[in-house]
Structure 1
Amino acid sequence: MKIFSKEQIYEGDALTAKKQNISSTDLMERAGIQIFNWLHMRMHGAQVPIHIFCGIGNNGGDGLVIARHLITHGYNVKTYIVNYSTSRSKDFLINYDRIKNTTKDWPILLNEESELPQIEERDIIVDAIFGIGLNRPVANWVVNIFDHFRATKAFVLSVDIPSGLQTDAVPTSPNNVVNAGYTLSFQSPKLVFFLPETAKYTVQWEVLDIGIDPEFLYTTPTEADLIGKNEVLTIYKPREKYSHKGTFGHALIIGGSYGKIGAINLAGRGALSAGAGKVTAFTPKCGYIPLQGAFPELMLITDKDEEKLTEINFDIDANVIAFGVGAGTDNASIDAFEAFLKTNKKPLVIDADGINMLAKRESLLKLLPERQTILTPHPKELERLIGTWKDDFDKLQKTKAFSKNHKCIVVIKGANTITVAEDKLYVNVTGNPGLATAGTGDVLTGMIAGMIAQGYDLLSATVFAIYLHGKSADLLVDELGYQSFIATHVVEGIPLAYLDLFKKPEQPQVEEEDDGEQD
C-alpha cells in the first residue's frame, strides 16, 4: 500500500474531481458518507450521544456531512463548530447550509469564551477540527478543547488524521494533538501513524476508499510504501518439486566472541528457518563446541584465536555473508573486518558490532560493496552511524542521506521497522513489543541473509524477512505474552509466518433465522 504525501493527496483529489466530472463538494460528500457508513454498521441506531466537533476547513466540512447523515438516520447528535478563524472553505460553507436545512438543532458555535459542552465517558466524540492541511500552531483555547476530550475519557474517532497532528512535523507538545482511539484515513494511511513520536496519537487506524482515481493511485510513485501480507505475497518465490539444498543457496555468518556465541546460534537458525539451503558460521574457536553440540544443522569454520575474530579466512563460496553479531569491537577484530572488506565481493548484511566497527573506523564505509550492503542497526547503533537527530523526520532525512551517500540499504528497527533504500521508505506493519528482547535482531540478520541466499534481491529479501520476523511474533504472542517472549520464539514462529501467507481470511458465520418449523 502506498503512503501518499499531503501534496499528493491534494493532487489526487483534484485529478479525481476532474476525471470523474464531479465537484470537490461531491468528493467531500463521498468521504463523509464512508465514515457515516463505518459508524452506522457498528452502532445500528444506538442512541449513544455523538458529539461532532468540526473545524471551518475541509476537515470540518467532512464532519458536517457525517453529522447530517447521522441526524437523518435518527442518531442522537450534537454538532459544534470550532471557530478558530474568520476564513471558511467553500465546501465547509456548502455543507453548513445543508445541515441547517436538515435539522432545527443547528451547530453550536464555539469561540474562545465559550463554555465547553458536557460529555460523558460513554459518549462518542468525532474529531473533525483540523485535517492534513494544518501547518501552524494550534491556538491555546483550541488545545483546551483537546484537553476536554481527554478529561471526559470518551471514545474519540478522528476524521483522516487526529486534529493538531501535521503530516510532516512532530508536535511541539503532546497536549497540542487529539488522542484518537481510532482514525479513519481517506484512501491512504499517513506516515505519522508509524513514527515513534507521532504514532501514539491514534490507537488504531483504518483506510477508507473514497474512490480516488485508480490510475493516479497505481502510477504515482510515493516516498513511502506500507509492507503487509499483500505486498510480500508478490515477492514470494514458490519452490519447485525437483529443487535441492543447493538451489536455495549458502549463507555465511561471521561473528561471535567469548561469551557471545549465542548470537551466531540465533542468526544461523534465522537463516535456515527463512529458507537458506546451507548455513556456515565463522567464529572464534570458543564457538566450536557449543555450536556443534547445540546446532547440528550448522556448518562451522573457526578463527585461529580462541576468544575473538583476528583473521577471517574461509574457502567456501557463499551467496551472501552476514557479519557482526556478537563479534565485539576489539581492534584486532576491526583489523580483520577491514582486511575482509578489501577482498569481499559478496552481498553483505551487517549488524550489531559490525555496525559499531563502521562507526569506530569510518574509513571502512568506503569499502562496503555498493548496492550490495544492508545495515540493520538498533537506534543507538544508528545514532553512531548518522549522528543525533532532533526528531523522527530528521532521523529519516539523515538516514536517507546516509543510504544515498554509501549506496546501501539501512533498516531502522523499531515498532514499525522502516527499510530505507536511498530516497524510498518501506514501512513494516507486523511486530509487537514482545520483540523488544535480546537476540531478536540477530535472528533478523540471519533471516535477511537466508532470503538473499535463496535468490531474493537485497531489497525484497529485507522487507520480506522483516515482515516474517514481525509476523512470527504476532502469531505467538497471544500464547506466550510480551514479557516471556524471547528470540528463540521468533525462530519457532517463522514456519507459522510462512504458512499464514496463504491462509484465507476467516469468513464471518451468519446465523440462520429460526423459521419456527421443526424437523
Structure 2
Amino acid sequence: MKIFTAEQIRQWDGFTISHESITSLKLMERAALALAGWISENCKNYTRLALFCGHGNNGGDGFAAARILYTKGFDVEVFVPDLKAEFSEDASVNLQRLKDFSGISVRELNGTEEYSFDNETVIVDALFGTGLSRPLDGIYKKLVTEINGKDNVKISVDIPSGLSADTIFTDDTVVFKADYTLSLQCWKKSFLHPETGKYTGKVVVLEIGLSPEFQKQEQSENYVVDERVISRIFKPREEFSHKGTYGKVTIVGGSYGKIGAAVLSTKAALKTGAGLTFTLAPDCGYMILQTACPEAMFIKGGDEYIENIDNEENSMYGIGPGLGIHEKTRKALLAFLKGYNNPVVLDADALNMLSDKQENLKYIPGKSIITPHPKEFERLFGSTANSFERLELARKKAGELNIYIVLKDHHTQIVTPEGKVFYNITGNAGLAKGGSGDILTGILTSLLAQGYSVEETCLLGVWLHGKAADLAAEKYAKESMLPTDVINELGNVFAELNRKKVKL
C-alpha cells in the first residue's frame, strides 16, 4: 500500500470528485458512513458519544457521522469551539443537517470542565484533519489538553488533531491522544514513527471509495507492507524439489558466553526453510549447537571466539549474532568481506565492528542487508534529532553504499538503494527482548538462500518475524513471550500463507 502525503491525499479527493461524477458532499457522506459503521459496530457497550468537531472538512465528517450514529440509537452530543466562525462549505451543510435533528445537541464550548463525561461516553475527535500545518495553540491546545486528561475511550477521525500527516512539529506539541484512529483510505507517514505514532492508538484504515486509478498512477517513495504485498512475494514449496533447491546458509556468530545468539539465529534459518544450514562458531559452542540444533552442521571458526571465516561462494552468510568484538574476530570479518562478492546479512557485533572506521563500510558487498537498531545505526552513520531525520539519513546511506537497510523499530523500515521505504506493520513490543534481532538475521539469510530477491527477502522476512511475534503474543502475552516462542510460531505463519495460496 502506498503512503501519500497530505497534499497527495487532497489531490486524491479532487481526482475522485472530478473523474467519478461524485460531489465533495457525497464523498464526505461516504466517509461518514464508514466512520459511523465502525463506531457502531465496535462501541456497542457504550451509550453516549461526544464529538468534538472543527470548522473544516474533518469537522464535516464528524457532523455527518454524528447524524448517522444518532439514527443508530446512540445518545449524541456535538461540541464546536466557536459556532460563529466560518465553516467549510461541506461542513456547513452537514452542521445544518445535524441541527434539524431535535435529539442532538450542538454546543459551543471553551473548555470541558463544565461537562461530565461518564464511563459510558466515547469521545470522538474531528477537530483537525491532514491539512493542519502548525501546532495547536489557543483554545484548541487548551481543549485537547483537557480531553487528554480524561479516561474515556477516545477515537480520532482520520488523524489525531495536532498531528501532521507527514512530519513532526516539535517535541512539546499538544496532540489528541487516541485509543483508535480511523484513518480514511490509507496510512499516514506520521502514524509509523515513534515520536508521532504514540498518539494514534490502534490504526484502522477505512475504505471510502477514493479513485483506484489515482492510487495506481500516483508516485510515492513510501509504502506499507501489507498482506497483499506478502501474498505476491511468497512462493510455496515445490513438490518436486530437494534440499539443494532451497539453498545453503552459513550463520556466523557466537563467542564465549554468547552462543545462545547463534543458536537462535540458526534455529530461525532452519524454521524458515533453508535447504542446508551451517553454523560457523567457536569451538566452545560446539556441544551447545549440536545439541540445540541437530539439523544444522557445525564449522569451527576458533576456540572461544571466531578467528577465521571460511568463504564459500555457494552459501549465503548471516553474520553477527553473539559474535563479540575481539580484535581477531574483527580482522576475520574484514578479510571475509573483502573477498566475498554476494550479498550478506550483517547484524549486531558485525555492525559494531564495522562502525569503528567509516572506511570499513566500503567493504560491505553490494545489495547486502544490514539490520541496525537505532543505537547501532547511530554508531554507523551518526546521530539525528528524530526518527524522521534518521530515515532520511538511512535513505542517503543506502544509496551511497548500494545496500538495504532494515531499520529496526516498532514499525521497522526497509530502505532500498533506490530510496524506497517500506514500513512493516506486524510485530509488537514483545520483541523488545534480547535475541529477537538474532532471529531476524536467521530468517533473512534463509530467504536469501532460497532465491528470493534482496528486496523480497527484506519485505517477507521482516513481515514473517513480526507476524510470528503477534501469534506468540496472543499465546503468551508480550511480557512473557520469548524469542524461541517466535521461532516456534513461524510454522503457523507459513501454514496460513500456504492456505491462502491454494488454488481451488
TM-score between both structures, scaled by the size of structure 2 = 0.93
The alpha-carbon deviation at position 263 of structure 1 amounts to 1.7
Q: Pick closer, same or farther for the CA change 1:359–1:83 going to 2, 3 Å.
A: farther
Q: State the one-letter code of the partner of 1:29.
A: E
The answer on whether the counterparts of 1:186 and 1:208 sit within 8 Å (CA) in structure 2 is: yes
Q: Which of these residues, 436, 445, 448, is aligned with residue 440 of structure 1?
A: 436
Deviation by residue 1:306-364 (Cα, 9 ceiling, x = unmatched): 222333234x4434111122222222222222211111012110000111112112212
Partner of 1:4: 4
Q: Pick closer, same or farther for the CA change 1:335–1:169 going to 2, 3 Å.
A: same
Partner of 1:466: 462
Q: State the one-letter code of the partner of 2:265.
A: A
Q: CA separation in 1, counterparts of 2:262 and 2:74?
A: 61
Partner of 1:108: 107
The answer on whether the counterparts of 1:270 and 1:491 sit within 8 Å (CA) in structure 2 is: yes
The alpha-carbon deviation at position 503 of structure 1 amounts to 5.2
Q: Pick closer, same or farther for the CA change 1:288–1:161 going to 2, 3 Å.
A: same
The answer on whether the counterparts of 1:171 and 1:177 sit within 8 Å (CA) in structure 2 is: no
Q: Pick closer, same or farther for the CA change 1:364–1:247 going to 2, 3 Å.
A: same
Q: State the one-letter code of the partner of 2:12.
A: G
Compare 260-269 and 13-22 and name the one that shifted more: 260-269
The alpha-carbon deviation at position 37 of structure 1 amounts to 2.4
The alpha-carbon deviation at position 245 of structure 1 amounts to 0.1
Q: CA separation in 2, counterparts of 1:378 and 1:364?
A: 19
Q: CA separation in 2, counterparts of 1:400 and 1:52?
A: 40
Q: Which of these residues, 345, 353, 356, is aligned with residue 357 of structure 1?
A: 353
Partner of 2:287: 289
Deviation by residue 1:387-406 (Cα, 9 ceiling, x = unmatched): 22212211211111111121
Q: CA separation in 2, counterparts of 1:405 and 1:323?
A: 22
Partner of 2:269: 271
Once the two structures are superposed, the pairs formed by residues 248-327 of structure 1 within 5 Å of their partners are 248-303=246-301, 305-314=302-311, 316-327=312-323
SS at match of 2:369: strand
Q: CA separation in 2, counterparts of 1:415 and 1:91?
A: 37
The alpha-carbon deviation at position 196 of structure 1 amounts to 1.5
Compare 266-275 and 34-43 and name the one that shifted more: 34-43
How many residues align structurally? 499
Q: Pick closer, same or farther for the CA change 1:115–1:467 going to 2, 3 Å.
A: closer
Q: State the one-letter code of the partner of 1:49.
A: R
Partner of 2:453: 457
Q: State the one-letter code of the partner of 1:302.
A: K
Once the two structures are superposed, the pairs formed by residues 218-237 of structure 1 within 5 Å of their partners are 218-237=216-235
The alpha-carbon deviation at position 72 of structure 1 amounts to 4.6
Deviation by residue 1:106-133 (Cα, 9 ceiling, x = unmatched): 6323348x96533223212111001111
Partner of 2:31: 31
Compare 458-467 and 12-21 and name the one that shifted more: 458-467
Q: CA separation in 2, counterparts of 1:245 and 1:277?
A: 4
SS at match of 2:278: strand
The alpha-carbon deviation at position 286 of structure 1 amounts to 2.5
Q: State the one-letter code of the partner of 1:312.
A: I
Q: Pick closer, same or farther for the CA change 1:167–1:289 going to 2, 3 Å.
A: same
Q: CA separation in 2, counterparts of 1:351 and 1:467?
A: 18
Q: State the one-letter code of the partner of 1:169.
A: T
The alpha-carbon deviation at position 183 of structure 1 amounts to 1.3
Q: State the one-letter code of the partner of 1:457.
A: S
Q: CA separation in 2, counterparts of 1:70 and 1:178?
A: 22
Q: State the one-letter code of the partner of 2:428.
A: N
Q: CA separation in 1, counterparts of 2:394 and 2:59?
A: 36
Q: Is structure 2 residue 424 aligned with structure 1 residue 425?
A: no
Partner of 1:513: none
TM-score between both structures, scaled by the size of structure 1 = 0.90
Q: Which of these residues, 382, 385, 398, is aligned with residue 377 of structure 2?
A: 382
Partner of 2:21: 21
Partner of 1:343: 339
The answer on whether the counterparts of 2:234 and 2:497 sit within 8 Å (CA) in structure 1 is: no
SS at match of 2:279: strand
The answer on whether the counterparts of 1:160 and 1:184 sit within 8 Å (CA) in structure 2 is: yes
Compare 377-386 and 245-254 and name the one that shifted more: 377-386
Q: Pick closer, same or farther for the CA change 1:285–1:397 going to 2, 3 Å.
A: same
Q: CA separation in 2, counterparts of 1:122 and 1:420?
A: 44
Q: CA separation in 1, counterparts of 2:15 and 2:102?
A: 34
